[in-house]
């Protein structure tokens, strides 16, 4: 994760299996914010499910325009984030509670598989969500 707003909104909260607002990851609003998970091996995805934070529309809408980037090599760091391939960009007008991503919508020829998954906000702003589930 590129930054941490404060405890207890750690990176690991994004994959801890707890789907409540008490367990979210949360970044600052610096220049380039991102969150990453390393699956330890390249996997073919059936679906990636992103659970947005519940709350006021203001809070739920912070996710609008998020981007999902993928990479088969590297680490969860800024260098790999910058070189990763843009797979999916949210095109909703309002923040959804659940995003069911079944393929890449940016580059049709890119394979929906990866070892590293990066998620970032549209602009330089706070980024948070409840949970990411990867179905292989």
| Residue 118: per-residue pLDDT | 96
Q: Across all residues in the chain, what is the average pLDDT?
A: 86
Q: Is the dihedral of CA 5, 97, 92, 44 positive or negative?
A: positive
User: Which SS3 state, helix, strand or coil, does residue 28 take?
Assistant: coil
| Residue 48: per-residue pLDDT | 98
Domains and CATH numbers, the chain: 36-123 (2.60.120.260)
Q: CA–CA separation, 73 vs 106, rounded Å?
A: 20
Residue 32: name the closest of 96, 70, 71, 80 by CA: 80
User: Which SS3 state, helix, strand or coil, does residue 79 take?
Assistant: helix
What string of pLDDT tens digits covers the 136 residues of the chain? 555 554 656 566 677 787 777 767 666 566 678 889 999 999 999 999 999 988 888 888 989 999 999 999 999 999 999 999 999 999 999 999 999 999 999 977 789 999 999 999 887 777 888 889 999 9
Q: What angle do CA 100, 65, 132 make, to 5 degrees?
A: 40
| Residue 112: per-residue pLDDT | 95
């Amino acid at each position: 994760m590129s930054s941490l707003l404060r405890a207890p909104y750690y990176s690991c909260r994004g994959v801890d299996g707890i789907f409540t607002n008490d367990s979210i990851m949360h970044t600052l609003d610096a220049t380039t914010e991102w969150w990453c998970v390393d699956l330890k091996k390249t996997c073919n995805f059936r679906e990636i499910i992103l659970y947005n934070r519940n709350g006021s529309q203001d809070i739920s809408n912070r996710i609008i325009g998020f981007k999902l980037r993928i990479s088969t090599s590297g680490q969860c760091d800024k260098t790999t984030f910058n070189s990763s391939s843009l797979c999916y960009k949210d095109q909703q007008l309002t923040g959804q509670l659940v995003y069911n991503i079944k393929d890449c919508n940016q580059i049709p020829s890119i394979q929906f598989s990866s070892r590293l998954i990066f998620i970032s906000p549209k602009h330089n702003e706070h980024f948070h969500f409840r949970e990411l589930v990867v179905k292989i």
